[in-house]
Amino acid sequence: MGRRFSIHLDNVATNAVADTYRTMLGMFASDVAGNRFKLRAIAIGGSEDAPQDLALGIQVARIDDVSAGGAGTSTAITPEQFDSLSKASAITAGHTYTAEPTAYNTVKLFQMDINLRNSIRIEWPEEDAPVANRDQLIGILCCPRTGAARTLSLSAEFEEF
């Protein structure tokens, strides 16, 4: 088992274009030998006291070769260690994309819809967890199902190995 990290975002907004996915969180294993991680869990839900009664599409997708596509332009976020004595993560992360990452695989790693009056947590066992090897990005993408932005909270847990 590798070192575990988590990332938390609160009150982030999707775009307002129906059925158009936007990257809410991207995690990138740089093109350095040994950089890789497994996405172990995600949690997504409404971020308000009275959550919106609105549908939200969720995808987990990977870019297999970021140097052939692009990691996008985003605000950096520092992954938090599960073990406070652990060294910092070698995996970088970004949110609030102003330019979307490009060249996501056509086959998504995970996809479903939820209503934001609910929340969902998906956990992957170690042997089935989505993997990003060096120079790969895993993105958590969301889209409104009608033309109104959604405000949500999002958490992701990953394991470097």
Q: Which domains does the chain have, with CATH numbers?
A: 3-160 (2.60.120)
| More reliable by pLDDT, 107 or 50 | 107
Mean pLDDT over each residue of the chain, to the nearest integer: 93
Contacts for 147 with CB less than 8 Å, ≥ 6 apart:
16, 17, 18
Burial class (CB in 10 A: 0-12, 13-18, 19+), 133: middle
* Residue 69, pLDDT score: 84
Return the pLDDT at 15: 93
Lowest mean pLDDT, pick from 47-56, 82-91, 109-118: 47-56
pTM of this structure = 0.93
Percent of the chain with pLDDT over 90: 77
- Highest averaged pLDDT of the listed ranges 16-20, 31-35, 114-118: 16-20
Supply the Cα-derived Rg of the chain in whole angstroms: 15
Specify the 3-state DSSP secondary structure of 68. helix
